[in-house]
Structure 1
Amino acid sequence: MLSDIFSTFDDHNSVFLSSYWVLWLTSLYVIIFYSSSLWLPPTRPNILLSIPKSIMLSQIKRTFGQNLLGMPLILPSLFLFLILLNLLGLLPYVFSPTAHLAMTASLAVPLWLSMILSSYTLNPHQTFSHLLPTGTPAPLSPFLSIIEGVSITVRPLTLSVRLAANMGAGHIILGLIGNYLSSWVFTLSATIVLIVLMIQIGYFLFEVGVSLIQGYIFSLLLSLYSDDHAN
């Protein structure tokens, strides 16, 4: 039973029409068919799944990430994974994991930390040289090093909070509009109900765009962070 609007973010809160199994089936589909083009003839589902893959691969080719082993495979897979989770979270009675900071942080922190540790292991001197821009005046060097170090440290936090906040806020607003719409159906005029319904549909389409954009931004920033990796 949903006691308030924030109960939709409780993964242990089950209702009669819960459809959490949709997430499991979709994840299984992605695992099996995402790279099936390597051994199966092209099909429509495989072609659709290759679209986000080609988009992210074109972005990785513009960064140093193309030289990192596994990055051209990890980021396109992450991009598609985030898009599916974001879109499935818009379905009724489907739990939205990307609206939780624990979920987004579990994706951002390991990927960010792996690039930091890999860069430090490969070339620690060049890694620390990124903390100080070339041509910095000597008196400002300590302050700029601290500022750059803090900016690098908070990167996984900003990645996690951005995705969780955008998805969570959208779900809350959709839930509020839906609650008002359901309570006004039998009490107000048909004109007002129709206006609210159009607002609900318009905002839902807006959230579909937000779901796609936030998945792209998350993967895009990770690819840009690879430019700081030591050569």
Structure 2
Amino acid sequence: MMPDIFSSFDPYMYNTLFPTNSMFLMMNTLIILFIQSSFWVMSTRSSTFKTPIKETIFTQLTRTSTTQLKGLSTPLSAIFFILIIVNLMGLIPYTFSTSSHLIFTLTLGLPIWMSLIISSFSHNPKKSTAHFLPDGAPDWLNPFLVLIETTSVLVRPLTLSFRLAANMSAGHIVLSLMGIYCASAWFSSLTTTIFLTISAMGYILFEVAICLIQAYIFCLLLSLYSDDHAH
């Protein structure tokens, strides 16, 4: 039993099933297997599995301005696969959950956001600056609107990273609580133990869906940020 419910987020509290270096090595290997090009005439098992995931992310990218920005679709697709794998690996018992930490999520979201800002101002500085002032606003309201728009653009990487880390952390905390109470009720109440075990199994399935949805939302918001790029 862990000392508290937040011990699952401390890599030094216990020996993880996969050490941090091995975990990233496994993640890199899986990423290579997922995003590599298929040279086979007939579809393999890996291509059959990853084709629906590719179609899902590319369908979303075509709805935004991402396809008009050369080189943006590839990193977004790679980030989508990375988040799916890392989120699902965090559900393995006694495994260090990487995606529940802000340093990991901020590392993925901040470079893409910063590259969009730099690229937009480098391509068309006048239009990029004009984006901070909505059309049709009264003159006396313009300074406040510029301040609000600037703040909303600057906090985008923080809200994006906090959203993913908070959702992953909340799910792992609930799973930890269920495991602690289930272990405590093992020798006291058989009915409570069975109920908590069934609830934990159902919540694990729900958490798997959350892992997939949060990966999609993360890449969805990054693709929507490309609509503000000065074309």
| TM-score strictly above 0.5 | yes
Q: How many residues align?
A: 228
| In structure 2, distance between residues paired with 1:71 and 1:162 | 22
CA RMSD, 1 decimal: 1.6
Alignment-derived partner of residue 104 in structure 2: 103
How much does 1:40 deviate? 3.9
Give the Cα–Cα distance (whole angstroms) in 2 for the partners of residues 27 and 183 of structure 1.
38
Deviation at 1:153, TM superposition (A): 0.4
What does the per-residue CA deviation read over 1:54-73, in whole Å, with 9 as the maximum and x for residues that have no partner?
Answer: 11111111111111111111
Map residues 40-55 of structure 1 onto 2, 5 A cutoff.
40-41=40-41, 42-55=43-56
Which runs of 5 or more structure 2 residues have no equivalent in the other structure? none
Give distance in 2, aligned partners of 1:116 and 1:93. Answer: 39
Q: CA deviation at 1:23?
A: 5.0
4+ long deviations beyond 3 Å: 20-23
Compute the TM-score of the two structures, normalised by the length of structure 1: 0.93
CA deviations over 1:165-189 (Å, ceiling 9, x no partner): 000011011001101101211221x
TM-score, normalisation: structure 2? 0.93
In the TM superposition, residue 45 of structure 1 has moved relative to its aligned partner by 1.0
- Which residue is equivalent to 1:19? 18
The reply to whether residue 124 of structure 1 matches residue 125 of structure 2 is yes
Output the amino acid matched with 2:68: N
The question of whether the paired residues in 1 share the 8 Å contact of 2:27 and 2:82 is answered with: no
Query: Contact (CA 8 Å) 1:23, 1:85: kept in 2 or not?
Result: no
Cross-structure match for 1:226: 226
> Could you tell me which amino acid in structure 2 is paired with residue 76 of structure 1?
S
* Counterpart Cα distance in 1 of 2:224 and 2:34: 28
Separation (CA, whole Å) in 1 of partners of 2:63 and 2:222: 13
Instruction: Give the Cα–Cα distance (whole angstroms) in 1 for the partners of residues 13 and 196 of structure 2.
Output: 28
Q: Residue type of the partner of 2:121?
A: Y
Per the alignment, residue 183 of structure 2 pairs with 182
Q: Distance between the aligned counterparts of 1:47 and 1:138, measured in 2? A: 57
Q: Deviations over 1:131-181 (max 9, x none)?
A: 111111111111111101100000000001000000001101100110110
Q: In the aligned structure 1, how far is the partner of 2:12 from the partner of 2:111?
A: 25
Find the counterpart in structure 1 of residue 135 from structure 2: 134
Shift of 1:123: 0.5
| Between 152-161 and 76-85, the greater mean CA deviation after superposition | 76-85
1:53–1:77 CA contact under 8 A, matched in 2: no
CA distance in 2, matches of 1:64, 1:18: 41
Deviation at 1:198, TM superposition (A): 1.1
Unaligned runs of 5+ in 1: none
Cα deviation code 1:36-85 (max 9, x no counterpart): 31x34431112212322211111111111111111111111111110111
| Identity across the alignment (%) | 45
Deviation of 1:9 (Å): 0.8
The separation in 2 between residues aligned to 1:77 and 1:164, in whole angstroms, is: 19
Which residue type is aligned with residue 133 of structure 1?
A: P
> Once structures 1 and 2 are overlaid, which stretch shifts more, 158-167 or 175-184?
175-184
Partner residue of 2:4? 4
Using the alignment, how far apart are the partners of 2:212 and 2:77 within structure 1? 13
**Code of the aligned partner of 1:224:** L
Aligned to 2:159: 158
Deviates most, 68-77 or 211-220:
68-77
Q: Give the aligned partner of residue 94 of structure 2.
A: 93
Inter-partner Cα distance in structure 2 for 1:86 and 1:26: 11
